[in-house]
Copies of this chain bind each other. A is one copy, B any other.
Amino acid sequence: MTDETLNIRQMCDAFGVTPRTLRFYEAKELLFPTRVGTRRLFTRRDRARLTLIVRGKRFGFSLEDIRQLLDMYEPDGSNAAQLNRTFQLAEARLGQMETQRHEMDVAIAELRVELDKTATMLAGFRRAAE
């Protein structure tokens, strides 16, 4: 399995981040590496979480936003009230993401139009230069 733990260097290489970043995320309680003496060992769970963190960041979410999102992936199944809050939050977040997704479609379409215009102008230049 992919159940081997990673040290900080391997983790950095795997995700393209710096050690400082991983320590920072641990301090912010986004990751929970175990310890062997003083050294950190990153588990399968940490890798899954870091994947979501990195992705979330590309969508413009803050680390605090992401921390809440992460909880939705490991809900507290023992507490109905807590679970319900998580559910509400997740629904709201999903709505936001779908809105954002739609806006992205629009933005892409618009940029493509501009790109076509530019291409046409360039074609004009090339014709003018024989």
Q: Contact residues of A with B, CB < 8 Å?
A: 55-61, 69, 72-73, 75, 77, 80, 83-84, 86-87, 90-91, 93-94, 97-98, 100-101, 103-105, 107-108, 111-112, 114-115, 117-119, 121-122, 125
Contact = CB atoms under 8 A, between A and B. Distances in A.
Given A87-B118, A87-B122, A94-B108, 6 more contacts: A57-B60, A72-B114, A83-B122, A87-B119, A93-B111, A97-B104
Nearest to A59: B60
Contacts of A97: 104, 107-108, 111
Q: How many identical subunits does the complex contain?
A: 2
* Chain A interface SS verdict (over half): helix
Task: Point out which of A80, A111, A117, A125 has the most chain B C-beta atoms below 10 A from its C-beta.
Answer: A111
Nearest to A91: B115
A57 B100 CA distance: 11
A118 B114 CA distance: 43
